[in-house]
Chain A
Amino acid sequence: KAGVTQTPRYLIKTRGQQVTLSCSPISGHRSVSWYQQTPGQGLQFLFEYFSETQRNKGNFPGRFSGRQFSNSRSEMNVSTLELGDSALYLCASSLRSNWRGGNTGELFFGEGSRLTVL
């Protein structure tokens, strides 16, 4: 069974540009969440999607957005890139089957997309 796949693995952008990152969850997983990992701030929750709807959102500016498609694949977009957006962006999927409530299901992480902003 294939794991969580993220593309691209590495990319370099300049300030002011925008970037789109893609995530394909494990087959059958409907919940996808995104995390930003930096040396200074560690792992921080960005947002979570379930059945094409954002279910939860972290404390990031509106430049960070995401979406989920009917096949559960997800994308996240960062507009007007800043130097501080340089990070490893991790996608995770889980087998959660319900929309509301409860704790997390076991999260399976991809290897991440490493973004460098120059």
Chain B
Amino acid sequence: GESVGLHLPTLSVQEGDNSIINCAYSNSASDYFIWYKQESGKGPQFIIDIRSNMDKRQGQRVTVLLNKTVKHLSLQIAATQPGDSAVYFCAENRFGDTDKLIFGTGTRLQVFP
């Protein structure tokens, strides 16, 4: 069935280190991918997105990598800060599905001083 999953449920990093959060997706028809950050008590917040015609996209301190061959997505956060502590979700979307997203299970990022 449809699924987007994450390899690690919890990731602990030291402040200042780089973080890498991974995600596997199952449907090769998905052509748009988004990373969301969810802080406690809040709704998911858009971080960065990437379309299937790209392999890499960079934002402010964040980079998303897409490997369509192995259906793998990753989010890299540079110089991780305490404010980055949250649960991170990857989500996939397919052309024609409009605003329907299939979310991964989430990875909790804990940043230690």
Contacts of A58 on B, CB cut-off 8 Å?
A: 100
Contacts of B35 on A, CB cut-off 8 Å?
A: none
Closest to B44 in A: A109
**Chain B interface residue bracket vs A:** 20 to 34
Binary A-proximity of B41-57 (CB < 8 A = 1, otherwise 0): 11111100101000000
**Chain A interface residue bracket vs B:** 20 to 34
A-B pairs with beta carbons under 8 A, tally: 80
Closest to B5 in A: A42
Query: Are A103 and B43 CB-contacts (below 8 A) given A42-B105, A96-B99?
Result: no
Contacts of B25 on A, CB cut-off 8 Å?
A: none
Cβ-neighbour of A96 out of B45, B98, B104 (below 8 A): B98
A80 beta carbon closer than 8 Å to chain B: no
Could you tell me if B44 and A48 are in contact, using CB atoms closer than 8 angstroms? no
Could you tell me if A56 and B45 are in contact, using CB atoms closer than 8 angstroms? no
In the complex, A33 Cα to B44 Cα: how many Å? 13
Closest to B104 in A: A42
Tell me the B residues contacting A by CB distance below 8 Å: 31-32, 34, 41-46, 49, 51, 89, 91, 93-106
Tell me the A residues contacting B by CB distance below 8 Å: 4, 31, 33, 35, 42-45, 48, 50, 55-56, 58, 90, 92, 94, 96, 100-112
